[in-house]
Amino acid sequence: MASGFTPIDFGSLVAAIRDVHERCAAQAGKAVNISLTLRNWAIGCYIREYEQRGADRAEYGETLLDRLADRLRREGLRRMESRELRRYRQFYLIYSRIWESLTPELQRILPSARLPIPGIREPATPELGIAGETLVTSLSFTHLNVSGPEIS
C-alpha cells in the first residue's frame, strides 16, 4: 500500500474510529468550556463596568440585574437569569487574572477590564499565584467558586 497505513482488521478499525472520536469530542468539549468560561467572565466585566461607569446606572439601582435578565431573555439569550448574571459579575471580580487568557479580540473589546476598580478588594488569584490561562484551561466556570458574599 502506498498510503503508509498498515492493513488492520475490522476490530482495529472500530477501535481506531472510537479513539479518534473520543479524543476529538474531548477536545471540542474543552474548547466549549473555555469559551463559555471566557464568555461568563466578559459578561461579568460588562455588568461591572456599567455599574461603575454607566451614564444611566442610577436609573436602575438594585433592579439592574432583574431588568437586564428580562431584556436579554426577550432578545433570545438563554441562561441569563439575574442569579446567573450576579454569578458572572462575581466571577469577574474574583478572577480578574483571567484577563491574561483572553484572545486579542476580546481584549480589544474589553479595554477597561485590566484597570482596577476602586473599592474592590484584591482578587483571590494573585495570592494563589495561578495564571489566568491556567484557571481557564484547567477548570470550567462551574468548577470555579463564585459563591459566597457579594463583592460590591
* pLDDT at residue 120 tops 60: no
* Domain-located, residue 82: yes
* Domain-located, residue 5: no
* Domain-located, residue 83: yes
Digit-coded pLDDT (tens) for 29-59: 999 988 898 899 999 989 988 888 776 655 5
pTM: 0.70
Q: What is the domain range of residue 75? A: 13-138
* Domain-located, residue 2: no
pLDDT of residue 122: 42
Give the residue among 79, 99, 98 at the shortest CA–CA distance from 87. Answer: 79
Domain count within the chain? 1
pLDDT of residue 107: 80
Q: How confident is the model at residue 4 (pLDDT cuts 50, 70, 90)?
A: confident
* Domain-located, residue 147: no
* Domain-located, residue 152: no
Q: Please, which residues have CB within 8 angstroms of residue 117's CB and are 6 or more apart in sequence?
A: 48, 52
* Domain-located, residue 148: no
pLDDT of residue 29: 93
**Distances from the Cα of 52 to the Cαs of 48, 49, 108, 109, 145, in angstroms?**
6, 5, 19, 17, 23
* Domain-located, residue 7: no
